[in-house]
Amino acid sequence: MRTQVAIVGAGPAGLLLSHLLWLDGIDSVVLETRSRDYVERRVRAGVCEHPTVELLREVGLAGRLEEEGLPHHGINLRFDGEDHRIALTDLTGREIVVYGQQEIVKDLIAARLAAGAEIHFEVSDVELHDVTGDSPRVTFKDSTGATQELRADVIAGCDGFHGVSRPSIPDGILRTYDHVYPFAWLGVLVKAPPSHEELIYTNHERGFALHSMRTPELTRLYLQVDPNDVLADWSDARIWDELHARLAVNGDFELHEGPIVERLLSPMRSFVVEPMRHGRLFLAGDSAHIVPPTGAKGMNLAVADVLALSRALKALLTDGRTDPVESYSDTCLRRVWRAEHFSYFMTTMLHRDYSADPFQHRLQLSQLRYTATSVAAATSLAENYVGLPFS
């Protein structure tokens, strides 16, 4: 098999890269270890930044998003028993749209298959070879178990934090920055209408809680929990007790309960590798960086990465120019580190670190009160939350 760009991973990063390259007349093949059904059902992020939505519109992928996405013009910081609204659109002139990552994946798969793209699901034993040469290659077993070899001009590693792309780079090449937080998130998907029209980020003495949504019929709720907890520790009754306690507010608010149709435990970490390129292997999305979900940046960073990568590969493969490829890592990392800082800011402002002294908690409350009452501070939060323009 031969292609111009071998893409490892059929998440939003790999699929969007394939689509962007196709628009530029560049051939690609996508390899994915999971089944199509799995990647289309895998529930992940739901907040699309303004630049992400604009890009999806520009490349013809926003049809269902326009019909089913939920535009949001603000978020709420809930603390001291009160809601403090950050008016995103009033402060920045832009908005976010809640539209599940799995829905974007569905749209991308449909668009790529309609265009005749090659997406190989359920592959195994994926290995990358000769990534510093002019003709890197990927070996794998296809869904029938037959061994295949895919030769390419470049390889895009879009296979996530646990994928094979990053570990294929020899030791000593990458600089790693890793920060693990002393808490985790318990997330539940509930078959019930959202209890509020906007997202609610809560700082409570019992721990952080988040009220979000996926559709007008599905609510997404999160609780800060101990990183050593397991799902068996959390019965439905305990989950609802904590949600009611942490989301309580002075005034009119009723938390809608319903059947819990999905639950997961996620550790909280920040992670970055530099550079995001080794020879003809380019890392994008979670294979290169992880952010805590508090800032809603993970999928949006992946979109920014592959937009920069598609431009760089067009210059290389169509025009023979190498300068955008050489600067790809630096271009992406400037945005990555801004998002890392914002996500760290949101996480440390809203979560309770029970190993810290009371002084730290008073600083948290001071930051929350300042953010809620200062136009300058609220604007900074809003600007980062809706997404800085793509460079």
pLDDT given for residue 44 in this prediction:
74
Shared domain check, 172 and 224: no
Confidence check: pLDDT of 311 > 90: yes
pLDDT given for residue 43 in this prediction:
73
CATH number, domain containing residue 200: 3.30.9.10
Mean pLDDT of 160-175: 96
Confidence check: pLDDT of 159 > 90: yes
**Identified catalytic residue from 19, 211, 297, 351:** 297
Shared domain check, 113 and 40: yes
pLDDT given for residue 6 in this prediction:
98
| CA distance linking residue 358 with residue 378, whole number of Å | 25
Shared domain check, 123 and 40: yes
Residue 359 lies in a domain: yes
pLDDT given for residue 132 in this prediction:
95
- The percent of residues above 90 in pLDDT, for the chain, comes to 95
CATH number, domain containing residue 305: 3.50.50.60
The neighbour count for residue 380, using CB atoms within 10 Å, is 15
Per-residue pLDDT reduced to its tens digit, 105-150? 999 999 999 999 999 999 999 999 999 999 999 999 999 999 999 9
> With contact defined as beta carbons under 8 Å apart, do 180 and 268 qualify?
yes
Specify whether 370 is catalytic. Answer: no
Residue 252 lies in a domain: yes
If we measure between CA atoms, which residue out of 198, 160, 203, 163 comes closest to residue 183?
A: 203
Q: Which residues pair with 223 in a beta bridge?
A: 186, 209
Specify whether 297 is catalytic. Answer: yes
pLDDT given for residue 288 in this prediction:
98
Per-residue pLDDT reduced to its tens digit, 206-231? 999 999 998 899 999 999 999 999 99
- Number of folded domains in the chain? 2
Structural domain of residue 359, as residue ranges?
A: 181-267+353-386
pLDDT given for residue 354 in this prediction:
87
**Identified catalytic residue from 99, 181, 196, 201:** 201
What integer best gives the mean pLDDT of the chain? Answer: 96
Band the pLDDT of 49: cuts 50, 70, 90. very high
pLDDT given for residue 379 in this prediction:
98
Dihedral sign (CA 41, 44, 46, 51): negative
- Residue located via tokens 């970055």: 272
Band the pLDDT of 41: cuts 50, 70, 90. confident
pLDDT given for residue 385 in this prediction:
98
> With contact defined as beta carbons under 8 Å apart, do 300 and 49 qualify?
yes
Tokens of 147: 């061994």
Residue 54 lies in a domain: yes
Tokens of 212: 């979000």
**Identified catalytic residue from 19, 50, 72, 211:** 72
| CA distance linking residue 269 with residue 291, whole number of Å | 6
**Identified catalytic residue from 293, 314, 328, 351:** 293
Which uninterrupted H or E stretch holds 102? helix 101-114
Confidence check: pLDDT of 391 > 80: no
Radius of gyration of the chain (CA): 21
Specify whether 71 is catalytic. Answer: no
Confidence check: pLDDT of 31 > 80: yes
pLDDT given for residue 7 in this prediction:
98
To 10 degrees, what angle do helices 298-319 and 50-58 make? 40
> With contact defined as beta carbons under 8 Å apart, do 198 and 72 qualify?
yes
